[in-house]
Amino acid sequence: MATSGAAEVDPGDRERQQHDRRRLASSLTARYSDWVLEALDELPGSFLLTDPSLAGHPIVYASRGLAALTGYPRREVLGRNARVFQGTATDRAAVAGVREAVRAQRAHQVAILNYRRDGSPHWVLLHLAPVFQARDGSLLHFLAVQVPIDAARRRAGAGRGAPGAVLAACREEARVDEDFPCASHAGKVFVDMDKRGLEAEEPCVASDSEKEKATNTANSIVSALNRYSKLTSLVVSGKRCDSVGIPALSSSLNLSLGRIKQSFVLTHSCLPDMPIIYASDAFVSLTGYSREEILGCNCRVLNGPGTSLEVFEEINQHICSEQACTVDLLSYRKDGSSFRDLLHVSPIRDASGRVSYLGSP
């Protein structure tokens, strides 16, 4: 029997990979038009975009400049978390500052030690900027611009010392599997036997010109996103509008909800008509509605000619009494097709015990 030397790809794996690629691309095209990818490719600079509404907060776009700076082909970073650029000597305090900015959905600038694909370390000024939907203030993406910090200037000033400077041990980068080029080396310390090590590394400070470059690059990218978002009527902004009626979820809650694989929505019980404020990936896939179409709507958007009004009255009674309930409901997708829905509605209480949200898996 003849055998092939090439490894066969499981059809299921291929289908999942294609689905993941489409999902990452639609994170941008559904919000900014089909031409936004080409427009971003024409912009200079090293930058990426992440989507906090997707599980794992993955990178959904990486610029050519980022590929040149880090040595990572774009296909290797798409779908991964931006932690891929961190390594052994990356300052934990700097990382904590980035996480807090993500949680608070605010802009942030910090000098941070990143790692290229070949394992060599390099200092960059990271400029983080949130991108909001102007209509409801919801967070759509995070923009991360990386500006290289001039190594010659940094070395020239290193000999003068600085109060509180923390010296880092020299280290040799661990070899890791090709599929995970920047896997964590936590807990492993090596003596650096080549020129890649960082000797007596001091905290790095970016120059004013580097800070200005990072800010200007970020502003140019947000302006481009704003321009293309007008083609889909889902206008975006680098600043959140304070006059919106639907409060946005925090990034940390978005990330936690994104890890749940079931089909569900979260509605705000304290707002008129209890609008949907979160919809899971599985819910979007099941119903055919995009997040932009479903957020702000009542769950009645899934009703149709065959939906039982008596069942909805039963749901309302349980909501008024702040009790959970499970019902069998006929619901309708965006294309008009129907499906049986075993709907479970459960109240979610805040720290004071008040019902703030309703979960409907």
Nearest-Å Rg of the Cα atoms of the chain is: 24
Top mean-pLDDT range of 22-31, 112-121, 273-282, 350-359: 112-121
Closest CA to 98 of 54, 129, 62, 61: 129
CA of residue 169 relative to chain centroid, distance: 33
The CATH code for residues 260-360 is: 3.30.450.20
- Higher pLDDT, residue 306 or 70: 70
DSSP 313: H
Average pLDDT over residues 13-26: 75
Is the separation of the CB atoms in 114 and 70 below 8 Å? yes
Closest CA to 288 of 341, 244, 338, 354: 338
Question: Structural domain boundaries of the chain?
Answer: 11-237, 260-360
Top mean-pLDDT range of 192-196, 305-309, 352-356: 305-309
pLDDT tens for residues 126-184? 999 999 888 777 889 999 999 999 866 555 444 444 333 322 322 333 333 333 333 33
What is the reported pLDDT for 93? 92
Average pLDDT over residues 248-275: 79
Is the separation of the CB atoms in 108 and 101 below 8 Å? yes
Contacts of 8 (CB under 8 A, 6+ apart): none
What is the reported pLDDT for 222? 92
- Whether the pLDDT of residue 327 is over 80: the answer is yes
- Higher pLDDT, residue 166 or 85: 85
| Cβ neighbours around 35 below 10 Å, total | 11
Q: Encoding tokens for residue 269?
A: 């019980």
What is the reported pLDDT for 81? 95
What is the reported pLDDT for 292? 74
Closest CA to 136 of 42, 236, 230, 216: 236
d(CA 356, CA 286): 26
- Whether the pLDDT of residue 330 is over 70: the answer is yes
What is the reported pLDDT for 59? 96
pLDDT tens for residues 197-252? 443 356 688 998 999 999 999 999 999 998 888 887 777 877 765 444 556 677 67
Q: Half-sphere exposure of residue 184, counting CA atoms within 13 Å on the CB side?
A: 6
Average pLDDT over residues 280-298: 85
Q: Encoding tokens for residue 238?
A: 């680098």
| Average per-residue pLDDT for the chain | 78
What is the reported pLDDT for 256? 79
- Whether the pLDDT of residue 79 is over 60: the answer is yes
pLDDT tens for residues 45-76? 999 999 998 888 999 999 999 999 999 999 99
Whole-model pTM: value is 0.59
What is the reported pLDDT for 186? 34
Provide, rounded to the nearest whole percent, the portion of the chain with pLDDT above 90: 31
Q: Half-sphere exposure of residue 286, counting CA atoms within 13 Å on the CB side?
A: 18
What is the reported pLDDT for 361? 54
- Whether the pLDDT of residue 342 is over 80: the answer is yes
CATH number for domain 11-237, candidates 3.30.450.20, 3.40.50.300, 3.90.100.10, 3.40.50.1970: 3.30.450.20
Lowest mean pLDDT among 98-107, 206-215, 311-320: 311-320
Say whether 260-360 and 11-237 share the same fold. Answer: yes
d(CA 79, CA 124): 22
Q: What is the dihedral of CA 197, 177, 59, 78, to 10 degrees?
A: 120
- Whether the pLDDT of residue 115 is over 50: the answer is yes
